[in-house]
Amino acid sequence: MKYYNGNELKWSAEDVLRRATDLDIDLTEEEAESILMATFEDNEYIMEMIGEVICGTILKYKDELH
């Protein structure tokens, strides 16, 4: 079985810091790293969202093939 490992799935503390800045919240690099790890530690929600997008893509391609 093949697994998808694309560049767009890579996140860093820099991404957390950028989003914190957008929220007018100051974080240290260490705090950003902790938030990043906590985000992906319990990734059931993230996997559910990806699953929904996969279903949408399947339906799109099915419509295009038929």
**Domain carrying residue 53:** 7-65
33 part of a folded domain: yes
61 part of a folded domain: yes
More confident residue, 65 or 62: 62
What pLDDT digit, counting tens, does each position of 6-57 carry? 676 778 899 999 999 999 999 999 999 999 988 888 788 888 998 999 999 9
58 part of a folded domain: yes
Distances (CA, A) of 40 to 10, 17, 31, 48, 65: 11, 16, 15, 13, 35
52 part of a folded domain: yes
How confident is the model at residue 5, as a pLDDT?
Answer: 64
1 part of a folded domain: no
2 part of a folded domain: no
15 part of a folded domain: yes
The H or E element spanning position 14 is: helix 13-22
| Structural domain total, the chain | 1
